[in-house]
Amino acid sequence: MTYGPDQSSGYPASSYQGLATPAGGQQYGQYGAPAAPPAKSGRGPVVVLVVLLVLAVIGTGTFATLWIIEGGDHTATRESLTKSEGALADSEKRVKEVEETLSGVEEDKRVAETKVGELTKCQEAGRDLIDSLDGGDTPENREKTSDALDRMDSFC
């Protein structure tokens, strides 16, 4: 076995750099040092860019999906709010009607209490009249009868 340039190839011996390839296939440079490994292919940056692109597409899809879902929820919430506002307006109208009715009832109660007070005075005058008539014909009972008739005339 010979190491070195093949003399039959026609290459001059001076162009040979002194690299030998042993039977194992590993090349050795000058003085027996291993040769530099072959340069790596330039695929690393491309892979990183592809991964970033895939992540961006996934993120955009997720964002779009959430945006659409939120839009539907927003519409449902708006409809619910509109219904609630309508119910509130109806309730406020009903409260106003009840307050007006209550005001009228309170006025009626005040009028009735005034009439009860007047009728109570009439009732007392009528009882005093009956008591004076039951007491016989005395000057004192005549005075009570006259007073009771005057009060009945005023209050009844």
CB 96 within 8 A of CB 119: no
CB 119 within 8 A of CB 151: no
What's the whole-model pTM score? 0.39
Which domain covers residue 92, as residue numbers? 44-155
Number of separate domains in the chain: 1
Report yes or no on 18 lying in a domain: no
Report yes or no on 29 lying in a domain: no
Report yes or no on 1 lying in a domain: no
Q: What is the mean pLDDT of residues 128-152?
A: 84
Residue type, 104: G
Q: What is the pLDDT of residue 16?
A: 46
Report yes or no on 133 lying in a domain: yes
pLDDT band, very low/low/confident/very high, at 26 (cuts 50, 70, 90): low
Residue 45: pLDDT above 80?
Answer: yes
Q: What is the pLDDT of residue 15?
A: 47
Q: What is the pLDDT of residue 39?
A: 63
Cα–Cα distance, 62 to 74 (Å, whole number): 18
Cα–Cα distance, 82 to 94 (Å, whole number): 18
63 Cβ neighbours under 8 A, 6+ residues apart: none
Report yes or no on 76 lying in a domain: yes
**pLDDT tens-digit map of 86-98:** 999 999 999 999 9
pLDDT band, very low/low/confident/very high, at 50 (cuts 50, 70, 90): very high
Beta bridge partners of 34: 28
Mean pLDDT across the chain, nearest whole number?
A: 81
Report yes or no on 116 lying in a domain: yes
